[in-house]
Structure 1
Amino acid sequence: MYYKIISLNSLKVRDIGFLVHPKLNRIYLKKCRIKKINIDEVLLIPSLSKKDSVLDLFNKIKMDIPFSMRIFLQNLQTDKAIDYRILNIYSNNLKEIDKKINLYNNSESEISPCFKKSLNIRNYNCHTSDMMNMSIDSYQATLEQETALRTALEHGIDMKSYLTSDQILIIKDYTINPDIYNEILKSGYCLDDPKSSFAKLFDETLNLLPEYEGITYRGTQSSRGNYGEVIKKGDFLYNDVFVSSSVSISIAKKFALTNSSKFTDSIMFAIKGRTGVNISTLSPTFKKEAEVLFRPNIYFKVKSIDKGKDDVVYVVLSETDDIDNMDNVRNMYDGQKLSFY
């Protein structure tokens, strides 16, 4: 296999399509019989298939590229001025990750299960860092929104084919008046209660659509101290309503910074979801927000909680069915412990 190794800061626009996706670097290094490349170097494969490159079908930078590298490539692709400090952030993150992975590979038999589990922490730190570093009025945010909207629309391109015209109207109606569907659930009525008939019909409609697996973001307000003092890392959270999220960090962050007061905290969630539904192509409103909706009766585990210098509380959640401590389950909105007895 023909390949070329170059430094990232000497990358040209014409080379981007040959750039191996960072997640596949190790696989291609092995294929090319290369033991290792430097942190600031990248691997180019002229015969690389598009699915293994950093470009999507529309020759745009894929959304799952690490954030700092993604911004660098987007700036390069659009011929914008490049802040080379972005490369330093990416390289420094890789150095720290590389140290941990090498330690893991060289002494796997001697590493405790606890340490193996800790290697995954870098993923949650990365999500927190991406949210913290997002400035909603920046050029960076504009690029990020364009990519997120494109990703959501590409994924949801066939959604209407799963529904009848009446079912599409139900989803559009939710965009106009979501309170009809959620207020009854917030009052304590379950989906099977006759009073929740609208919510149940909406839930059954969403159940017909494919699920969206991936990271989405949510910005909201919560009672001051609810996340960090009441709800803590390791807690399980129960969601009992239809909850909105976005593929875009910056769109979600706008919601987090809206209607803040001295009685509330601005909260930004990064949600590693499995059962969300991408409805961005089913309503003009959702199209602008790259909307992924989670249905009632699902659980999340709190992976991390951090307060940023901007006074926003950043929370990473992972959707789960594996609840190992039923005494540690709280409502994700008011933090109240749930009783299962």
Structure 2
Amino acid sequence: MSEEEAAAFCMLSPDQILNAIEAQGYPCDGHLLALNSYENRVYQVGIEDGETLIAKFYRPERWSDKAILEEHGFSDELDRQEIPVVSPLRDHSGCSLFYQGPFRFALYPRRGGRAPDLEDPEQLEQLGRLVARIHNVGASQAFLSRPRLTIESFGIKSYQYLLEAGHIPPELQTPYRTLAESLLEQIQISFDRAGDVTRLRLHGDLHPGNLLWNDTGPHIVDLDDARMGPAIQDLWMFLSGDRLYASARLADLLEGYTQFRDFNPRELHLIEPLRTLRMMHYAAWIARRWKDPAFPRAFPHFGSANFWGEHILTLREQAAALDEPTLVWD
């Protein structure tokens, strides 16, 4: 990202946002609310005599236009199969990615809802059915312009970047390096145990915050991290707690999932490795975005000995979890 693009994105103003949306034929009523998003800039926008819209302004150079359009196309495929997903709006010529000066953006209808109740077996079973239907569509073809979830992209490149970027205090760099390299060895062993599992198009970041529940049931939002990967990636974020608790939640999810799609139990070897890779990738994500003023404001302790001491402790706990027997699905 050039310095000019970075500055323009970080200083995106209300007037620029409203002008961009009005240029697409939506007269704004002046109501503008910034939503909780750091990677992109996302706003709730009031429309005169119309339904409120969600506007997503894409971070420059994160995704190519082709990758964004692949995400939009995947969303449309899901929508055609009557899978409840919030798809981008299209103009009269069928375009879903819009341009205004240096900015690229998409518009979405606003859909409300609450987080799923992960204590409710019926909701978990319904969630499992929904994910299986997404995966049936995802398995029909591959992404061509979006990445794969790999040990290298989420783990190796993340820890290497963190050591090079200088955010880790000097006295913690060696402990972090040693631990990260050991974790990556454990993760590789777990991937080897899982074997050659199928990679398919995924939501990629399916946590409770990206699943909204209302009176009609669940619907999916924010496919921005869609990529190729194993099916368990869209399931493990709903599993937490001790082994007994997580096993019960897993059974509920897969009870629903297997009503629509077979599940390969070897993928259970990937739950803790994927959780660990996400932690490593998350820390590197903050570091990579540090020049964006929103990130120092949101993560003021990043770079402190306290932050990195806690991060290393969490990763050590993950090292222990990686040595535990994998969850069993009966």
TM-score tier by shorter-chain length is 0.3 to 0.5
Greater Rg by CA: 1
Q: Which has the higher strand share?
A: 1
- Using structure 1 for the length normalisation, give the TM-score: 0.32
Structure whose residues are more often helix by fraction: 2
Higher relative contact order, chain-length normalized (CA < 8 Å, sep 6+): 2
